[in-house]
Amino acid sequence: MVNGREKQRLRRAQKGKKAPGWMKYAFILTDAVIVIGAVWLISDAVSPLKKAEAETAYVQESADRPDTDRTETEAPEIAEEPEKEPETEASRDGTRGEPAEAAESQEEPAASETEPETPEETELTETEPAPPPETESPATQPPETEPPAPQVTSLAYVGNIHSLSQDQINAIRASYDCNGRGYGGITYYQRAPSVQSQMDGMGINCRALVPGGNTVALTFQEGWEPGYTGQLLDILAQKGVKANFYVTYGYASKRPDLVWRMINEGHTVGSHTYSCPETSLAYFALEDIMNDAMQMQQYMHNTFGYDMHAYNYNSGAWSPGSAKMLSDMGYTVVLCSNSYADFDAYAAIDPNVWLPQLEAGLIPGSIYAFHVTNPVTIQMIGPLIDYIRSRGFTFVLI
């Protein structure tokens, strides 16, 4: 019995004998195509399985790697993040220079973009430690408000005036009455000789009267300027009289032109205190009085080149202890023998009443104390000068 393969071969041989020659090649080509298609289908079915197996193997291999391998693979991403570090260091150091590593890795366009910002940052950094501006001392810059009594106890020597040590001040406080007392009033000339004798006996260079027989001193206390001092200086110049002006810091700093005129026209310019508080400095501690006087002395020396030697209390009060201290500092302490309430700029003063009283108070050595705040004083000063001269008195400086 012939098997299947033999039958198939015989059948093909018979067909080959019957079929033309080209048919034989067609069958061969068809068989080849069938074989190739079967192979392609099998490979296509197997390919996804191999791919999945390969991915699984890669994941397993990555999980088994040490940490160092993983760090090295991720390093490029970390290195790309801090691009602004060179710029930050440059601004912090305040220089144009950049770190060497950053300069090598940074590209040309990036360097040109950051370059304009570097000078601005450098300039800001260099100006930060600028020292604060110096402030001027109260002696050269007048304060808007009334200055307090100074607390310094050791001040510069100015001319013939000098400060005292604490031991010297304590000795004066222990030996002299330092309680303030008033002295004002038109009738003070009745007590002036007694006060002068008392001051002389205590060794205090104080003037309640001026020496020399028929002599008179005109004094003017200048704490503020309502506009009459220029007229007063004109009257004194016309009469040929030299007077004594006592100025405060507030007055001298606001009207230096008038102070210069007093100095240039030969009048005496003395101290009427630096701070000029409403309460007389005679009621303050001796240290405060001394330092106030030295501060005023320093201001006049620095501003006008003028060294004062005369001192006049503010607000109409004095004390033997403070007068002794000021005298030991080198001052001539000036009180008065004749005065009246012309310090009130708005007081209704009748010259027909006050002028006769001023004339009646004339005694040898009289010290007339005026303020230049009331216009009636300007009206009376000319006639008073004429009266004093008619009585044979001469005008002197203290």
pTM strictly above 0.85: no
The predicted-structure confidence for 285-318, as pLDDT tens digits, reads as follows 999 999 999 999 999 999 999 999 999 998 878 9
DSSP H or E segment with residue 391: none
pLDDT of residue 396 exceeding 60: yes
378, 235 in Cβ contact below 8 A? yes
* The Cα angle at residue 251 between residues 372 and 307, in degrees rounded to 5: 105
Q: Please tell me the distance from the alpha carbon of residue 267 to that of residue 249, in angstroms, as a whole number.
A: 18
Question: What is the residue type of 389?
Answer: R
The predicted-structure confidence for 63-97, as pLDDT tens digits, reads as follows 555 444 444 444 444 444 444 444 444 444 444 44
pLDDT of residue 29: 78
Domain spans in the chain, listed from the N-terminal domain onward: 4-57, 90-123, 166-395
Half-sphere exposure of 299 (CA within 13 A, CB side): 30
Query: Is 166-395 assigned to CATH 3.20.20.370?
Result: yes
Q: Which two tokens stand for residue 60?
A: 């397993």
Q: Which two tokens stand for residue 15?
A: 């067909």
Residue tagged 């570090």 (tokens): 85
Q: Please tell me the distance from the alpha carbon of residue 16 to that of residue 101, in angstroms, as a whole number.
A: 84
The predicted-structure confidence for 237-267, as pLDDT tens digits, reads as follows 999 999 999 999 999 999 999 999 999 999 9
201, 382 in Cβ contact below 8 A? no
pLDDT of residue 302: 95
192, 334 in Cβ contact below 8 A? no
**Average pLDDT of 194-206?**
93
Question: What is the residue type of 177?
Answer: D
243, 266 in Cβ contact below 8 A? no
Which string of DSSP letters, residue by residue, matches 140-198?
Answer: TS--SSPPPPP--S----BTTB----HHHHHHHHHHS----EE--SGGGGGTHHHHHHH
